[in-house]
Copies of this chain bind each other. A is one copy, B any other.
Amino acid sequence: MSLSETKEFDLITLGETMWRLSPPGHFRLETAHQLDVQVAGTESNVAVALSRLGKRVAWWSRLPDNAPGHHVANTLQTYGVDVSGVCWGGSRLGTYYIEFGSSPRPSQVIYDRAGSSASEMRPDDFDWSLLRHTRWLHLTGITPALSPSCLETMRRAIAEARTAGINISFDLNYRGKLWTTVQAQPIMDELAAGCHLVITAERDAKAIFGTSDLPELSQRWNGATVVLTRSAAGATAYDGGTTYDAAAFDVQMVDRLGAGDAFDAGMLSALMDGKPLDEALRYGCAVAALKLTIPGDMALVSRAEVEHLLTSGASTIQR
């Protein structure tokens, strides 16, 4: 994975980003008078976290040319993500509502993303030649579920990245509200087989492919490195030869969303820094733990904070 320093971006990612609208505290959406606005998208979450960790990152998507669309682009720029590759057009920003539960009442997500600008993304919307000045492409399994043109864009992205000879990571991110496991399986297999690093929740691997056996999954996907995540139970990786484990950190949770994306960003950042896979797993777990303490989907952490946690563990106050 050694890559020249002359690349323009460390990583490019593409996907849909939405407004996440939530009533404050534990109030029910059905009685909402106010909604908090956050920007959320699995790929842009990865992009923001990587940028905070010091990487040069670009995020590609389609956004409507109106206030909500610009709100999304502005927010990603806030954290240093390059949005100059965004294709402006289409009629609406996808949104989703989330109501935060408290055990035994589950948090509830209501997607309102049909017909979004992002779902109209097409392969020709982007300047693929930029991949030749980039070290890494990161994709997720949400995009192919959004529309046929999104699937075509994914296929094109993988083909172009392979031509450019750069690394490709793929987080399956299975969403049961977008498609069934039966629909997802052949597409996921096709796409994963073109990538070098495949990440998935263990539960989803079992549901879609009927197995969470790492060597079996690696073999299925042309020998890709495979990472299984298990929320509070940490992560396991297999690089075609060895299996590595990393434990999750104890967390007093503030906001559950985006932890998987934070994990991806931490792992990718460490890999780009030349760290071995086991350290990268642990780095990912640290970023995920910090994310869980921060409101919103984005891991608004600093590299120093991540490394302080990895070396010194948790502390209560710094003054």
Residues of A within 8 A of B (CB): 21, 25-37, 66-68, 70-71, 74-75, 77-80, 91-93, 95, 97, 99, 101-112, 114-115, 175-177, 249-256, 289-290, 293-295, 300, 305, 309, 313-319
A29 touches B110 (CB 8 A): no
Give the oligomeric copy count.
6
Q: Are A28 and B300 in contact (CB under 8 A)?
A: yes
- A sample of 30 cross-chain residue pairs with beta-carbon separation below 8 angstroms, ordered by A number, consists of A26-B293, A28-B67, A30-B67, A30-B68, A31-B71, A32-B71, A33-B37, A34-B35, A66-B110, A67-B97, A67-B108, A68-B110, A74-B79, A77-B77, A77-B78, A77-B80, A78-B78, A93-B112, A102-B251, A103-B252, A103-B293, A105-B293, A105-B314, A106-B315, A106-B317, A107-B316, A107-B318, A109-B318, A109-B319, A175-B319
Residues of B within 8 A of A26 (CB): 254-255, 293-295
User: Of all chain B residues, which has the CB nearest A30?
Assistant: B67
Q: Is the CB of B256 within 8 A of A317?
A: yes
Q: Is the pair B30, A74 in contact by a Cβ cutoff of 8 Å? A: yes
Q: Is the CB of A316 within 8 A of B101?
A: yes
What B residues does A103 contact at CB under 8 A?
250-252, 293, 314, 316
Q: How far is the CA of A106 from the CA of B289 in the complex (A)?
A: 12
